Every structure is written in structure tokens, then in C-alpha cells.
Amino acid sequence: MPKVKINGIRIAYDEVGNGQNLILIHGLGESRRLWSLQVPAFSRYYRIITIDCRGHGESDKPEKQHKIQDLSDDLYRFMVVKGLKKAHVLGFSMGGMTAQLFALDHPEMVDKLILADAPTRSHPGFADRFVALIEELGPKKLGARLARDNIEAKVPEAVRRIVEEDFARNPKEAFIRNVRAEVGFDTEARLQEIKLPTLIVVGENDRLVGDAQLMSRLIAGSKLAVIKGSGHSTCIENAEDFNKAVLEFLKDT
């Protein structure tokens, strides 16, 4: 498992496949292992790079509070150090927040942008409620509860365990910092600046459907794919339709 040192921390990553670069950014509390149902499908056509964001997985977990902007800056430095001049960027949930900022700050480094189940702003009270759950249950029990209650039953058990294990591996204080990183995030006023080919993916039962629809109106020429039979975690709850939508978008010239 390689690591690269950027912005004073070590970022863990994996890469597989050949072709154009496609960077996958996981959500809150997860790791690059989230993409276990995407990497085999996507790596047949692209060079897939999955990263553990700071504070997550096998990357460093600095004690200083960070913001989503720091995750975007990490991605920029990662690409520079790795010599990646351009890439398709796919971000899920918190990773989609990161991808929005990265596309706004460094559009010249993005080929196509995919925003999956991503909010346009931090929702009032979310951080406080989530932190309270972490304090009450701890990361391990919280991961088990979310995997049981918030992920569709048809998800393979092995994938469900990955979600549980990723949450369990988070030290409590690091997890809380990751939650707090989302506070104050708001791209709504800037989304019209995005001129990149953009796909917005959302599960039909995700509470973020409204955010996805707003994104599709604000980002000129963007495409919206609503994945049936899925809640928030579309990339694992309906991987087949998710992968199909992403690959069709990437291959469309």
C-alpha cells in the first residue's frame, strides 16, 4: 500500500489499470475500500486511483481541525506530486463536496466531473447530531448501526462489512474532526462557475435528491442520473446501475 507525503501528512492510495486517470474520493468515515464494486469495472478502461482522505483509512490523522477545503488542497498536491496533469474526478458524499471545490479551484486539472450523492451545503444540525452519535455509540457500534439501518439489504455482506470495518477503524476524536470538517461548506453560489462536463448521480431515496436537482440546474449542461432502488450509498446499493451511468458518461464524447 503506497503513501505519498503532501501538505505535511501521508496520504494512502492505490492505483490499478491503464488509460485516462480516474480518481475516486470516498465519503465520511470510509476509505478507498468503499470502491470495491467500482474498481474492477472501471479499471478495464481507466487508470483508477483511490485515495484515503486525511483523517481516514490508512492516511495520517492530524490533530488539527481541517475543512473540506483542506481535502481539496490535498487532492491538488497529490496530483502535482504524482505528476497527474489531468483526471476524471468522482466524489461520493463528502468526497463529492471535495470534488466540487477542486473543480471550482482547479478546473484545468479535471477532465470530467462526477458528483455522487453530494450536498451543495452542510445541512443545519448534521454535525452536532452525528458527533452526538459518535460520542454515544463509538465508531464501531455506529458503523454497525448505519450499515444495518441505512444501507439497502441487497448489498453484498462483504461490502457491508467493509463499511462497518472502516467506521470501526476511526479513532473517535479523528472521526469527530472529519464530521466537523463539513461545517460551513456551501458551494451553491459558485456552482454556475463549473463549466466542465458533469454527471450528478443520486439515489432515488436519498435525502439529497433536492441538492442533486439544484446542482443539475446550476451547472450548465450537466446530466442527472437518479438511481432507482437506492438510498444514499448508490455506489454500493445499486452498483450495477451506478457503474453503468458513470461509464456511459465517461465514454460519451
- Give residue-wise pLDDT tens across range 72-110: 999 999 999 999 999 999 999 999 999 999 999 999 999
Q: Give domain status of residue 241, yes or no.
A: yes
Total domains in the fold of the chain: 1
Contact 233, 207 (CB under 8 A): no
CATH number of the domain that residue 13 is part of: 3.40.50.1820
Under the phi-then-psi rule, with left for phi > 0, alpha for psi from -120 to 50, and beta for the rest, what region is 117? left
**5-18 pLDDT, tens per residue?**
999 999 999 999 99
Q: Is residue 162 part of a domain?
A: no
How many angstroms separate the Cα of 76 from the Cα of each of 38, 68, 73, 179?
23, 13, 5, 22
Q: For residue 37, tell me if it sits in a domain.
A: yes
Residue 46 predicted with pLDDT over 80: yes
* Cα 22 from Cα 42, distance rounded (Å): 9
Q: Please report whether residue 43 resides in a domain.
A: yes
**Amino acid identity of 169?**
R
State how beta strands 21-25 and 47-51 pair.
parallel
The yes-or-no verdict on residue 152 having pLDDT over 60 is no
Instruction: Tell me, yes or no, whether 136 lies in a domain.
Output: no
Closest CA to 181 of 79, 62, 49, 88: 62
Q: Compute φ and ψ for 252, nearest 5 degrees.
A: -70, 120
Q: Which pLDDT score is estimated for 253?
A: 65
Q: Is residue 126 part of a domain?
A: no
Give a yes or no: residue 197 inside a domain: yes
CA pair distance 198, 110, nearest whole angstrom: 10
Question: Which domain range does residue 211 map to?
Answer: 3-120+186-251
| Segment 107-131 mean pLDDT | 94
Report the alpha-carbon distance of residue 165 to residue 92 in Å, rounded: 18
How far, in Å, CA of 110 to CA of 118, rounded?
18
Residue 32 has pLDDT above 90, yes or no: yes
Question: Given the DSSP bridges, would you call strands 9-16 and 3-6 parallel, antiparallel or unpaired?
Answer: antiparallel
Contacts of 253 (CB under 8 A, 6+ apart): none
> Which grid cell is 37?
464494486
Q: Is residue 18 part of a domain?
A: yes
Question: What was the pLDDT predicted at 231?
Answer: 86
Report in angstroms the alpha-carbon separations of 213 from 6, 146, 159, 210, 223: 35, 25, 28, 5, 10
